[in-house]
Every structure is written in C-alpha cells, then in structure tokens.
Amino acid sequence: MADFGTLCLLMALATAGWAMVASYNGWRIQSGELILSAERAVLATWGLVALAIVALEHLIFTDRFDLEYVASYSNRALPAMYKVAALWAGQSGSILFWVFILCTYSVIVVLLHRRRNRALMPVVVTTLSGVTVFFLLLLCFLARPFVGLSHAPPDGMGMNPQLQNPFMAIHPPCLYLGYVGLTVPFAFAIAALATGKTSDTWFRTTRRFTIVSWFVLGTGILLGGWWAYVELGWGGYWAWDPVENASFIPWLTTTAFLHSVMIEERKKMLRVWNMSLVIMSFLLSILGTFITRSGVISSVHSFTRSDIGPMFAGFLGLCVVVSVGLLLHRLPLLQSEHRLDSFVSRESTFLFNNLLLVGAAFAVLWGTLFPIISEAVRGVKITVGPPFFNEIFVPITFAIMTLSAICPIIAWRRATPHKLLEKIRIPFGAMVAATALMVAFGMRDLYALVSFALSAFVIATTVMEFYWGTRARRRATQERWLAAFWNLLDRNKRRYGGFVVHLGIVLIVIGVTGSSAFKKEASATLGRGEAFSVGRFELRLEEIVSRDTPNHEFLGARLAVLDGGHQVGTLLPGQNFYKAGQDPSSEVDIRSTLREDLYLIMTGFDPQQGRATLKAYINPLVNWIWIGGLVLILGSWFAMLPDLRERRRTAEARLRELQPHAI
C-alpha cells in the first residue's frame, strides 16, 4: 500500500505538470484540445491525490508501524477520529492534505468555470497546477509520507496529546481550506493580468471563493483559539504565536479586499490596489506556511518542523517575481477613473478602512518578523511577545471600530453634513450613554471603557441601519414591518450579511476586552477538604479521581464550586498520562456562563501527600467571543447565499468582456 501511495503521488506530479504545461501552451497557441487535456489532467490529479490519501489512512488504520509516518503520529489505542486527524498531525501528511484541498478547489474551478470563463481559464489552470506541482514536488522528494522503517516498532509513538482534541481535528482543515482557497482568486488575478482581461470579470467570478476562504480561515482561527482555551491550560485563547499571526495576517488583507472591491464595483477605482491585495493575501498565506513549516521563528506550533523552509522561500520568491512582474507589465491596462465627489463619502471611509486593515496586517507581520530582523542587524535574537502585539494592535482595533461605526452611515459619492449629523446622532448618543453608564457603575479601566464605548457605537449604527432600511422599504412598498425587514435582507444579502459580520466582530471585541481587562486568578495546593477562593467563588477539594482508558490514564481533582456559601456545581480538572509515552497533557474544566467562565487547571499532584496544585481563573465575558464567532459565521453564510442581482451583474460583466471577441 505504501508503494501504491508513492506511485499515486508520482503520477499526480506528472498529471499536474502536464496540466500546467498543456494549459499554458493551449492558451498560447489557442489549442482547444490542449486546454481540454489540461482540464482533464486536473481531474486526474485530484483522483490520484485522493487515492494517496486513502492509502495513507489505510496504513494508519491498519497500524502499519513499518511506515515512519504511521509510527510517528499514530498508535494502536488512538481513537478512530484521531486516526483520521493523524493525516494532518505530521509534516508530510499535512502537505498531502493541503495538496488534496488545492486539487479539490482546482476541480471545482474547472467544473464551474471552464465554459463560463473560457478566456481566463487556461491561465487559471496553469497557475493552480503550478502551485500543485510545487507541493507535489515536496511530497515526492522532500517530505515523503510513505517512507518505510527498517525495523517496525511494536506500537507507534502516538499523536501529540495536545492535538487529541475535537477542536484540533477541525481547526487545521479549516485553516487549510482558508489558506488554500486564497489560491483561487490569486489564479484568476494572474490570469486577468496575463491575458490582459483586467475588467471586473475576474473579481466577480472569484468573490465567492474569496468570501469562502475568508470565512473558513476566520472560522479556523476562532477554532484554534477555542482549542488553545480548552486544551493548553493557560486560561487564554490567543498568544500572538507566530503561527497564529501567520493565519491572521492574510485574513486581515482579505478583509481589506472584501471592502475595497466594493469601490471597484461601484466606481471602477482601486483596480491596481485590489489586484495587489489578492496577490498579497496569497503570498502571505505561503509566507504563513513557510513560517509554520520552516521553524525559522520559534513557536508553540512545533508539531511539523522540517528542512523544507528553503524550498518555500524559493517558491515564495518566484511567486513574488511573477506576480509583481505581471502587475507592473499590465499597469497601463489597470488605470482607472479615479474621481471622488467628496471627502465625506463612503469611498473615503473605505480607503481609510483599507489603510487600517492592511496597516494592522503589516504591524502583525512586522512584529512576527522583527526577531529575525534584529538577529540579522544586531546579531541579537529578541522576543516579540504578547505585550508588544497587544500594545500595537489595540489602538489600531479602536481606529477600525471607529470607522466601522461611521462608514455605514456615510452615503456613497457625497454625504451632506445635515444627513451625516442626523444619522450619527443616535449611535453617538448610544456610545455616550453607554460610557456614562459604565463610569457610573465604577469602571475605570481606560482600555475597557474605550473598547465597550466603541462597541456600543458600532452596534447602534448597525441596528439603526437595519431599522432605517426596513422603514424606507416599508414606506416605499407599504409592507408590514416583518415582511419589509425580511425582503430588505433578502434583496441585499451581501450588505446586511456584512453588517451581521460587523456585529459578530464587535461581540468578539467585547469578549476579548472583558476577559483581558477583568481577568482574576488564584492558585493553591490543596488536600482533601481544603479550599481556596478566586473572585466570588470558593473551590473546595472533594476527592482525587483516577480513570484508565486504553489510550491514557486520567488523574484529576474533583472540586465543589461555592458561590456565596451555596454549591453551584463541581469541576474536575486533571491530567492525561498517555500510554504511548508522551508528556502528560492538562485537561481543564470550565464552569461557563454568559457572564464569565470559571476556568480550573490541575498543574501538579503529589501522590505521597495526596495534595493537588490548582490554578483558577475567572474570565469575564469570554463566551461572547464564541457567540461572536457564531454570529460572524451566520453573517458570512447569509452574504454568500445566491443573489440573483449579483448573478446578473456577473453575467453582464462577462458579456462585456466577450463583446470585443464577437466583433
């Protein structure tokens, strides 16, 4: 089976290479047969990579420890769910999974667009296949998943205990779907540049792919935060780890693109900028992978390091040269009619919004890479940790929130001061009222006050946008309130889906603010019957619990949770000791409410004295982060729903592009 897997990968390399070459030559000499052959080769590549994955999973499930990958990332007692997840637990497996996702995207693009976008598709296929060839080269020669061992161990080393968590089984696929999805808009951008067809077809065609990538990348980041929160046992969810940053940076630039593309749609402006943002997002996703894989920057994500860093650096350099070269070559075609009617317009606020989002991405990238820069310039390696990022990122977030509150109420083209003041009155009043209320209730933390006040501003603006829109529709159509509200949303899915996403982001900001500014913690070493306090809670050790499972042994401490003398629940934090021999992993227990989380970790246990060392946190409002994530997902889904008006506009754009050929 291992030889079969290797053969599949080698054949996939050949078919992907053929797809790249045939598609490019088909486009150059306008040969329909070559182009068709390339498209079929894309389908064949997908099939071969899928077979390689089936082969690797078969080897994992049948405990073939004569294979290095299986022996390193699986063991006999590993539950079935994690045997599936073992595919992306190691370096070569995760690259194989990456290629599979890329091939799946390629197949979807070919099936959906080979007839609709004949002009762009050959170069799109060339680009997608080119990226596929690079990853297949890694798999066939540098990070081979089907390498055998001379002596098979009786059992495998098992999966990293921290990865044995349901969220971790979903988090990497989401991130990969997001990262890899950014290749599709990049491929269309390159095709538009190469063919010179730089009108709006390329971004209208790929917008759905971009939103999907943005959405799954965001979901992946949130799931990663959740995983860190429930698994890593330090009471937090985001540590500005280089690998976390690597996923966050392209998400920020894609967010900028999703906003600025609206200006291109309406005003035919910012064409070079939008093209640059799509290229930048893809390059940053490759840079992120480079950071993840090369180990060039130290990170907690050290599961998958190897020496493929130079290959990634080379590929990144090639992509930069090709895309920037094409962009410069086509600059004359991308000249747009840059005209603004007024400084106070939606267009202007979008420009500043882009500045802040790309500025935020740059700030995070700068902080992530600064240790390397410092080492290169001064020869001194330094750490750029959470305090730096918090200090840099918080003011930028405040500025973005200010714009999020103002932008929706400023009209396109030109806002009159009368209208602007009329519209801003209520949201601004809500912000002032919220601030006064917080001060009256004794809140003095400056960060929290500003953050909550701006959150109130954005929420009020967004709610008022829904209200104003419904009221206007009701007046125009005489519909009932509910019908007017629903029809308003149904006919403007992107706009109102976007507003729901804004609400989700604000809820996340509220959760982050509450859990950062008002966090409380306490720790103690307790014997049976002893207690310690954190905030208003008292925690009393009831008993030490131990359990045995085929995969691990669990040792934990059961504690009664008392609030004002009354027991409100029990918590059972502990540690898992894996039989495959890895370090123990902490298993936190959380009492979760909308107001706060009581988060409990057992950091140590003394078997001689029967005493457990415990650490407790109170994380206020932390659940609003996950609720905000759900709202964000809901809004994104709504914005992605099929929109007839959008389809018509896309069809019209394609027709416009085809007209010169008809002549």
Partner 1 sequence: MRSDAVPGDRPRGLYARPGRRAAGIARVLAIGSVLALAPVPPAPAAETTPQERAEHALMCFCGCSDLTIRTCSCGTAARVKEDIARRLASGATVDQVIEAYVAQHGEQIRSAPTKQGFNLLAWVVPFAAILAAGGLIVALIRRWQARGAVEGAVVGAGGSASPLANLSSADRKMLERVEREFRRDL
Residues between 462 and 521 that touch partner 1 (CB under 8 A): 516-519
- Please answer whether residues 508 and 624 qualify as being in contact, where contact means their C-beta atoms are separated by less than 8 angstroms: yes
CA atoms within 13 A on the CB side of 50: 9
Interaction between residue 415 and partner 1 (CB under 8 A)? yes
3-state secondary structure 647-658: HHHHHHHHHHHH
The single residue among 112, 325, 366, 436 that binds partner 1, judged by CB under 8 A, is 366
Q: Give the range of 53-61, 121-129, 444-452, 632-640 binding partner 1 by CB under 8 A.
A: 444-452
Interaction between residue 533 and partner 1 (CB under 8 A)? no
Interaction between residue 412 and partner 1 (CB under 8 A)? no
CB 660 → partner 1: shortest distance, Å? 17
Q: Return the number of the residue (216 or 409) whose C-beta is nearest partner 1.
A: 409
Interaction between residue 384 and partner 1 (CB under 8 A)? yes
Q: Return the number of the residue (25 or 348) whose C-beta is nearest partner 1.
A: 348
Q: Give the range of 173-181, 379-387, 470-478, 486-494 binding partner 1 by CB under 8 A.
A: 379-387
The single residue among 41, 403, 561, 612 that binds partner 1, judged by CB under 8 A, is 403
Find the binding residues for partner 1 in span 236-265 (CB under 8 A): 236, 239-242
Count of residues binding partner 1 (CB under 8 A)?
79
Find the binding residues for partner 1 in span 594-613 (CB under 8 A): 601, 603-604
Interaction between residue 576 and partner 1 (CB under 8 A)? no
CB atoms within 10 A of CB 173: 18
Q: Which among 4, 147, 169 has a CA at the least distance from the CA of 86?
A: 169
- Angle of helix 493-517 relative to helix 446-477, nearest 10 degrees? 160
Q: Return the number of the residue (31 or 374) whose C-beta is nearest partner 1.
A: 374
Long-range contacts, stretch 294-302, CB < 8 angstroms, 24+ apart: 296/372, 297/242, 297/368, 297/369, 297/371, 297/372, 298/242, 299/241, 299/242, 299/243, 300/232, 300/239, 300/241, 300/243, 301/241, 301/242, 301/243
Q: Is 547 helix (H, G, I), strand (E, B) or coil?
A: strand
Q: Which among 639, 644, 641 has a CA at the least distance from the CA of 218?
A: 639
Cα–Cα distance for residue pair 157/86, rounded to 1 Å? 12
Cα–Cα distance for residue pair 620/598, rounded to 1 Å? 9
Interaction between residue 388 and partner 1 (CB under 8 A)? yes
Long-range contacts, stretch 350-354, CB < 8 angstroms, 24+ apart: 350/259, 350/260, 350/262, 350/263, 350/407, 351/260, 351/263, 352/403, 353/256, 353/259, 353/400, 353/403, 353/404, 353/407, 354/256, 354/259, 354/260, 354/273, 354/277
Q: Give the range of 75-83, 109-117, 282-290, 357-365 binding partner 1 by CB under 8 A.
A: 357-365
Interaction between residue 438 and partner 1 (CB under 8 A)? no
CB 499 → partner 1: shortest distance, Å? 20
Tell me the residue type at 65.
F
CB atoms within 10 A of CB 380: 8
The single residue among 247, 455, 586, 650 that binds partner 1, judged by CB under 8 A, is 586
Q: Give the range of 95-103, 182-190, 362-370, 639-647 binding partner 1 by CB under 8 A.
A: 362-370
Burial of 549: CB neighbours in 10 Å, binned 0-12, 13-18, 19+ = exposed
Q: Which among 308, 317, 365, 372 has a CA at the least distance from the CA of 90?
A: 308
Interaction between residue 334 and partner 1 (CB under 8 A)? no
The single residue among 191, 261, 283, 396 that binds partner 1, judged by CB under 8 A, is 396
Cα–Cα distance for residue pair 157/152, rounded to 1 Å? 12
Give the Cα-Cα-Cα angle 218, 224, 225 (nearest 5 degrees): 95
Interaction between residue 342 and partner 1 (CB under 8 A)? yes
Handedness of CA 56, 58, 59, 60 (dihedral sign): positive
Task: Print the binding letters for residues 46-85 with partner 1: x by CB under 8 A, - otherwise.
Answer: ----------------------------------------
Task: Print the binding letters for residues 297-326 with partner 1: x by CB under 8 A, - otherwise.
Answer: -xxx--------------------------
CB 296 → partner 1: shortest distance, Å? 14
Interaction between residue 573 and partner 1 (CB under 8 A)? no
Q: How far is CA 4 from CA 56, 58, 145, in A?
A: 10, 11, 12
Task: Print the binding letters for residues 194-233 with partner 1: x by CB under 8 A, - otherwise.
Answer: --------------------------------------xx
CB 253 → partner 1: shortest distance, Å? 14
Interaction between residue 540 and partner 1 (CB under 8 A)? no
555: part of which helix (H) or strand (E)?
Answer: strand 552-563
CB 456 → partner 1: shortest distance, Å? 15
CB 393 → partner 1: shortest distance, Å? 9
Q: Is 585 helix (H, G, I), strand (E, B) or coil?
A: strand
CB atoms within 10 A of CB 123: 22
- Please answer whether residues 118 and 20 qualify as being in contact, where contact means their C-beta atoms are separated by less than 8 angstroms: no
The single residue among 62, 335, 416, 593 that binds partner 1, judged by CB under 8 A, is 416
Interaction between residue 402 and partner 1 (CB under 8 A)? yes
CB 178 → partner 1: shortest distance, Å? 22
CB atoms within 10 A of CB 438: 17
Structure tokens at 118: 């004949």
The single residue among 47, 58, 333, 398 that binds partner 1, judged by CB under 8 A, is 398
Q: Give the range of 32-40, 97-105, 205-213, 387-395 binding partner 1 by CB under 8 A.
A: 387-395
What 8-state DSSP symbol labels residue 366? H
Give the chain's count of helices (H) and strands (E).
Answer: 20, 10
CB 659 → partner 1: shortest distance, Å? 17
Q: Give the range of 59-67, 93-101, 314-322, 446-454 binding partner 1 by CB under 8 A.
A: 446-454
Q: Return the number of the residue (78 or 358) whose C-beta is nearest partner 1.
A: 358
The single residue among 158, 161, 225, 367 that binds partner 1, judged by CB under 8 A, is 367
